Amino acid sequence: MQDKPDLAALIASRICHDLISPIGAIGNGVELLAMEPGGTRPEMALISESVANANARIRFFRICFGQASSDQRIARSEVASILGDLSRGGRVGYAWTSPTDLSRREVRLVFLLLQCLESALAYGGKVSVMRNDTGWQVQAEAPRLKVDPALWEVLTEPRAPAEIGAAQVHFALVPDELARQGRRLITEIGETTIRLTF
């Protein structure tokens, strides 16, 4: 018997697929306008930066929330491109160390965890991701963290807090993805550092 399709993931994939083309077209239009005399005005730079950020976010969301089969692969260069575009002009910087060819499912789990870390890095910070023979290590560092203990407990405990809103949905998705991959997450939260290993 075939597994029931993940309708939420299919919807996310569809939305991201349908939005990426018009956003790309807007980016192309901005590039053409920038070639005209006076096209390097500050408002054009702002629009260009916003389009690049929207494009990166959609590519990130497609991996994070979209459909991914167990045999799908993703190149490290694509991951680096997405994270590079996300960090440009943002408050969080990323460093990624891994083999060149990656399981898209594993990257999906890391991206979900990156969103969890982003919520703790409300004032900015650095995130490093490393994949070696023993597994994944994701670490966030910042002078000041904003950690909601009830949300972080969801990652390692089967019960969820009473309310998870749209802005925290990634916390609710992590345990299911860990179970799907047969992995166990170890969470260490300090004063200025959060370390996640699986």
Alpha carbon distances (Å) from 51 to 26, 48, 124: 7, 5, 22
- One domain for residues 44 and 94: no
Alpha carbon 59 to chain centroid distance?
9
The string of pLDDT tens digits covering residues 132-151 is: 999 999 999 999 999 999 89
The answer on 78 and 24 residing in a single domain is no
User: Which pair of structure tokens corresponds to residue 22?
Assistant: 């018009």
**What's the token pair of residue 181?**
């991959």
Indicate if 98 and 178 belong to the same structural domain: yes
Spatial CB neighbours of 131, under 8 Å, sequence gap ≥ 6: 97, 98, 99, 102, 106
Predicted TM-score (pTM) of this structure: 0.86
Partnered with residue 70 across adjacent β-strands are: none
Which residues span the domain enclosing 12? 1-67
Residue 26 tokens read as 């807007």
Do 41 and 127 sit in the same domain of this protein?
no
Please give the average pLDDT of every successive group of 10 residues along the chain, which has 198 residues.
67 79 82 76 81 89 89 95 88 95 95 96 96 95 94 81 80 92 95 97
Judgement on whether residues 91 and 7 belong to the same structural domain of the protein: no
Tens digit of each residue's pLDDT (9 = 90 or more) over 154-170: 988 867 655 788 889 99
Residues 105, 52 share a domain: no
Q: Are residues 175 and 77 in the same domain?
A: yes
CATH of the domain at 122: 3.30.565.10
165 and 114 part of one domain: yes
Residue 27, burial from CB neighbour count under 10 angstroms (0-12, 13-18, 19+): middle
Domain boundary among 67, 93, 124: 67
Pair (86, 61) in one structural domain: no
Domain count, the chain: 2
Same domain for 81 and 31, yes or no, is no
